[in-house]
Structure 1
């Protein structure tokens, strides 16, 4: 299972369990909290009404007439009160008064229980004993939403307890408030949970993105691609990435040196042997013409060694680069014109025509020296393999958001056995007119240059004969 998936599932589980616990705990605590907040003002109300009842007492008996009249008027007087989501249109308080024996003297509910014995009810019983009296009773058995909360207070006149006044408040409206609060809490819980999940997903993405970049970087190095260390932020992943980069540079440096030493040794072995053999023969007496031929051989082989070393140094510097250095606009038509002028002596000696066509203003961003080296190698190969009296066509074309330089020669083409090997280092074909081979590094240099410029190079046989080489550059800003 991927790290990103593990992080997401872990966050999902933690958030789900945590929010379920918190929401359930808050919701379960709502009912007692609301009832506590309702009971507290009932205590004050009962105490105040008990004092008003005490003020009506005569001869040790509470006069309930004023209460009966007041509650009747309240019941008859219409009103509307919008309390948040609740519309209140009637007074739902219930007040009853008992004497010292618990007999109901007054019941605001249209005298419903007047004359009944309430001594066994907890609010009356405890209050008459001098304690805090309260109870919660369901008006309908089995229906928790019909509960009524009662709080009682003693009626004391001239230091004598005359009875009990109890105030009841139905929980119906409380249940409405609780239901509304529960819905809001659940909604807030879901929204908060969703937001935390989104943050968790983004967080897991932030954690795993550098890991994926580092993995892609390591895979590219394994596949031999030229890549730079990606941006990994400032976390421990960045430290790990820097360690990988240092390790890669160290290992590649050792392998690179070993490879090039072996390759250079192998490639200069033959010309060194030729020079050594010619030098040994020059010790002997021989005609001047033969001596001159051996001296020419030494010069040619020495030049070959110099060319190999020069191109290997260039290729080595290209392969160790991470990008371009001195970038500026380069007019491709102008570069081709300069190369054509430099090749003019060879073109004239072989009677080869070199035609140039296409966009004269085609410009790319790059290093002028490297672009010239790439075009020079391609054009030099075209001239080398074109027979006397042949021709080379060069065109500069705009293609797919880039610029392509297409070079088409009229030579013999690439043999089938060499098609897959022409970009190998030190692999070279004999030139038709001289039978000699080049250093075999030219196309390797061209490929490295084009990769540095974000482009590419292809060399293949043309259907009508000869070879077509295409160098594709990206346009500025492309």
Structure 2
């Protein structure tokens, strides 16, 4: 199971549990909250009616036609009020009044007059000077039929002379409860969905960053060229981890690289140094002028070989340590090739080489100028080494699909099959036809590293026209 999936599952469980408990708690609190608000309103209404009904109760006018007409008119009113999306089309209060013994004197519903309500909590508690309220089921066993009753004392000269109770069915506030729960449910579902999307995006981002760091570390461990994109991870622990990996790579690369090249350089310097030492020792002995010139020539040749070896090693070390292009730009190919040809003009003329340049005026390539100049120079050197006197070399450019191709073709013997796969190995070289001597064996390794930096490839192959070396840019 991937890390991102594990993170997302943990996050999903956390969000789901938190959302369940929060929504469950809020949903459970909505119903009592609405009913408490309704009860508070009933308290105000009951106390207001207690003041209005005190005089009619004292004067025995509660059952007068005028009072009954008022209650009848009240019960028939149609408010047609839209309250937060809930339409209220009728009044729902029931009002009844008892004397100080709990006998119902007046009932707006007309069903309880003359009955003894002294045992109902709203009347019983109020007559004792306490807060009187109760909730009773209109239909036994049906919780939705419950009715709230809130009573207030009718007081005269600090004595309770009666009780007025105001009743309201709970079903009349249920639409508000349902609407609130529905809206809260939708809002909660939206927040949960948003949380899950945010969690998924975070898990994906976090996993992607870790995956890039892992791939970077794997490339470093395998000795491959690796570049940590700047600004990819720029804060917190991940940023510190990225910087630590980058620092570790540089230190390991530098240490391993120095060890490798010290060993390589020591090995490769042995042969020319031995030749120089042998020639210098022989020069100290008596010999003819012709022999002296021969050994001095050997010293000069081996010294030149040492210089070339050191220069090639330095160039190769530079490009191998380079992780990315420093100054890439769009370069016109024809002027670039022309400058290289001019630098090799003396040798071309000496070998009577026929050089053909088939490059369009507008042909270009994107890359680092210095590195491409060095790579093309190495290919031209190789072509001159293996082209016979009076032979031909062709430098051309072509667009092959998505590949931008620079090709150097020289006449000469084909590359042997055994050598084809080893040509880019360090210090592997074929003997030159003209002298039989080998080169440093670093030129094609350098070209291959340059093409790797440019996300391209070096391709070597035998063709009917001779040997082809291609620089293929993606």
Structure 1 residue 165 corresponds to structure 2 residue 159: no
The change in CA–CA distance for 1:251 and 1:161 in structure 2 (over 3 A counts) is closer
Q: How does 1:44-59 map to 2 (within 5 A)?
A: 44-58=44-58
The change in CA–CA distance for 1:199 and 1:326 in structure 2 (over 3 A counts) is closer
Query: Which whole-Å deviations, capped at 9, do the CAs of 1:140-188 have from their partners, x for residues lacking one?
Result: 1121111110111223345553332211011112111111111111111
What is the rounded CA distance, in whole Å, between the counterparts of 1:145 and 1:328 in structure 2? 80
Structure 1, 318-327 or 246-255: larger mean CA deviation: 318-327
The change in CA–CA distance for 1:57 and 1:237 in structure 2 (over 3 A counts) is closer
What is the rounded CA distance, in whole Å, between the counterparts of 1:24 and 1:329 in structure 2? 65
Offset of 1:35 from its aligned partner?
1.1
Structure 1 residue 178 corresponds to structure 2 residue 177: yes
What is the rounded CA distance, in whole Å, between the counterparts of 2:111 and 2:140 in structure 1? 18
SS in 2 for 1:54: helix
What is the rounded CA distance, in whole Å, between the counterparts of 1:176 and 1:374 in structure 2? 82
What is the rounded CA distance, in whole Å, between the counterparts of 1:339 and 1:38 in structure 2? 95
Aligned residue in 2 for 1:288: 289
Structure 1 residue 330 corresponds to structure 2 residue 323: no
Structure 1 residue 112 corresponds to structure 2 residue 76: no
Structure 1 residue 100 corresponds to structure 2 residue 100: yes
Aligned residue in 2 for 1:347: 348
Offset of 1:102 from its aligned partner?
2.5
Is contact 2:76-2:90 (8 Å) kept? no
Aligned residue in 2 for 1:132: 131
Is contact 1:134-1:150 (8 Å) kept? yes
Q: How does 1:203-282 map to 2 (within 5 A)?
A: 203-230=202-229, 231-282=232-283
Aligned residue in 2 for 1:201: 200
Structure 1 residue 320 corresponds to structure 2 residue 321: yes
The change in CA–CA distance for 1:61 and 1:439 in structure 2 (over 3 A counts) is same
What is the rounded CA distance, in whole Å, between the counterparts of 1:242 and 1:79 in structure 2? 72
- TM-score under structure 1 length normalisation: 0.91
Offset of 1:280 from its aligned partner?
3.0
Unaligned runs of 5+ in 2: none
Is contact 2:409-2:465 (8 Å) kept? no
CA RMSD across the alignment: 2.3
What is the rounded CA distance, in whole Å, between the counterparts of 2:289 and 2:159 in structure 1? 155
Aligned residue in 1 for 2:412: 411
Query: Which whole-Å deviations, capped at 9, do the CAs of 1:358-378 have from their partners, x for residues lacking one?
Result: 212223344433222111111
Aligned residue in 2 for 1:11: 11
Offset of 1:400 from its aligned partner?
4.7
SS in 1 for 2:139: coil
Aligned residue in 2 for 1:142: 141
Is contact 1:406-1:471 (8 Å) kept? yes
Is contact 1:217-1:229 (8 Å) kept? yes
What is the rounded CA distance, in whole Å, between the counterparts of 2:121 and 2:243 in structure 1? 78
The change in CA–CA distance for 1:5 and 1:64 in structure 2 (over 3 A counts) is farther
- TM-score under structure 2 length normalisation: 0.92
What is the rounded CA distance, in whole Å, between the counterparts of 2:216 and 2:360 in structure 1? 38
Q: How does 1:11-90 map to 2 (within 5 A)?
A: 11-58=11-58, 62-90=62-90
Is contact 1:407-1:470 (8 Å) kept? yes
Offset of 1:300 from its aligned partner?
1.3
What is the rounded CA distance, in whole Å, between the counterparts of 2:47 and 2:259 in structure 1? 101
Offset of 1:285 from its aligned partner?
3.5
Offset of 1:272 from its aligned partner?
1.9
Offset of 1:327 from its aligned partner?
4.9
Is contact 2:76-2:91 (8 Å) kept? no
Unaligned runs of 5+ in 1: none
SS in 2 for 1:57: helix
SS in 2 for 1:140: coil
Query: Which whole-Å deviations, capped at 9, do the CAs of 1:258-304 have from their partners, x for residues lacking one?
Result: 21111112112122222222233333443333332222222212211
Is contact 2:46-2:164 (8 Å) kept? yes
Query: Which whole-Å deviations, capped at 9, do the CAs of 1:46-67 have from their partners, x for residues lacking one?
Result: 1221222221135667445433
Q: How does 1:436-451 map to 2 (within 5 A)?
A: 436-451=437-452
Offset of 1:205 from its aligned partner?
4.2
